[in-house]
Amino acid sequence: MLQIYNTLARAKQPLQPTEPGHVRMYVCGMTVYDYCHLGHARMLVSFDIVQRWLRASGLKVTYVRNITDIDDKIIRRAVESNRRIGEVTEFFINAMHEDEQALGVQPPDHEPRATQYVGKMLDIIKLLEDRGLAYQADDGDVNFAVRKFEGYGKLSGRSLDDLRAGERVAVDASKRDPLDFVLWKSAKPTEPEDTRWESPYGEGRPGWHIECSAMSLSLLGLPLDIHGGGPDLKFPHHENEIAQTEGAYGGQLANTWMHCGPLMVDAEKMSKSLGNFFTIRDTLEHYDPEVIRFFIVRSHYRSEQNYARDNLTDAKAALTRLYTALANVDADDAGIDWDAPSGVAFRAAMDDDFNTPEAMAVLFELAVDANKTGSARAAGQLRALGGVIGLLQQDARSFLQGRRGAAGVDAAVAAQALAAGDEGGVVVQVQDDVEVRIEARRAAKAARDFALADRIRAELLADGIVLEDKPGGVTVWRRA
């Protein structure tokens, strides 16, 4: 049985969907005011692995991942760029989708936007007000009365006595308690017209936390089987979601809470606020997208993972070893044999809280077997099991030759193609250039000019091209 670490219980627990065979999963998505960075990539890939494995296990999954398309940061970006809110959010939503597609992240079943659910948010706020858990302050904002909700802090393990004013909210004289958080923000005279909605509390917009309560309730109901998100959402965002939803409707918001670990840079979490982030698209200029996905998947989703160029380079080398096995052995297409030792081990790893490092070890064992024995079945099992977690689905030789990535492209060839406005031509021309030089080396060897043949091989190696001479006089190449 699949065991998942439940942040709320602080232990691994068996997944037991409320509706047998059907998992309803909600994951907090992006606030779309900028490009996604690699920390976001880790969250996106981690929960993509979760939903892939649930489906591979024969479960029906309804996967909802929201978009926050109204927020102070979005408003600031729109004002600074002199654009409407919708223009800003649409641009960065499209960019996010491009990044997801590159990384092999499958789209969720539903991708609601906060601005589509303002009416539902107001319904929840009214319920909270009727139950004495919300009040309108003198400044027009509607706030949640934290101390009136019994059990606040149960997800994060923080007590009210430990929560001092200023730890998560600025002290605001209009609040009855510094710990109270905003449900509805009163419109300010300086804010654009397209950031305001009519409400019983006057013109304004929703607070951040209430958005997810409205969207998850509307699309999945209560309780959720799985609620997930990034490491920084446990507190206060998810804690506040629990207070709002359970305060309004009773019961339990989610049976299982999942949080992926942080992506670190020099011992600090990668984030826009710290300025230590690398965007997904910038990183894609140097690495094949699958290398980035492999880098993320080789660590357990709950672990603290460190980003460094050396780590991505190492991930590329490791993924290259797997693809080399697939290039050397013709894989059969019989599908996954779950009864084989490799299938049993892979399932056991993934059923243990999505233990991808252990699952990856199975893939490397299959690669060794394929290389050692030439087994088409081992190669086929390698490719098929890799596909379960979104890996090893490229043509092996294409990956090894770097046709999808820009890294290692000869500068002169690339400049020529780009000057002609043909970005795709970069790869084609590099391919042609390498093949021409391989042919020249072959001719040199035929003429017994081994010094020239060795020089061509060395020049190619200096350009990041490794030659492999196969039986029958065939030479293949790959990126170093």
Q: What is 34-88 written as a DSSP string?
A: S--BHHHHHHHHHHHHHHHHHHHTT-EEEEEE-BB---HHHHHHHHHHT--HHHH
Kindly report the length of the chain. 480
Dihedral of alpha carbons 465, 367, 297, 392, sign? positive
> Does 445 carry a binding-site annotation?
no
Distance between CA atoms of residues 20 and 5, nearest Å: 20
28 among annotated binding-site residues: yes
Cα 353 to Cα 356: distance, rounded to the nearest angstrom: 9
CA–CA separation, 299 vs 354, rounded Å? Answer: 10
Going from the C-alpha of 118 to that of each of 72, 84, 141, 239, 280, the distances in angstroms are 16, 19, 15, 21, 31
Give the closest residue to 321 by CA, choosing from 376, 359, 360.
360
Contacts of 27 (CB under 8 A, 6+ apart): 43, 47, 63, 64, 65, 66, 108, 227, 228, 229
246-199-66-248 Cα dihedral, nearest 10 degrees: 10
Identify the three-state secondary structure at position 205.
Answer: strand
Identify residue 224 by its one-letter amino acid code. Answer: L
Q: Is 36 annotated as a binding residue?
A: no
> Hey, how many other C-beta atoms are within 10 angstroms of the C-beta on 97?
13
The DSSP letter of residue 273 is T
Q: Coil, helix or strand for 6? A: strand
* 358 labeled part of a ligand binding site: no
Q: What distance in Å separates the CA atoms of residue 216 and residue 264, rounded to the nearest whole number?
A: 30
- Going by the annotation, the residues of the binding site for ATP are 272
Query: Binding site: which residues?
Result: 28, 212, 237, 241, 272
Detail the residues annotated as belonging to a binding site for Zn(2+).
28, 212, 237, 241
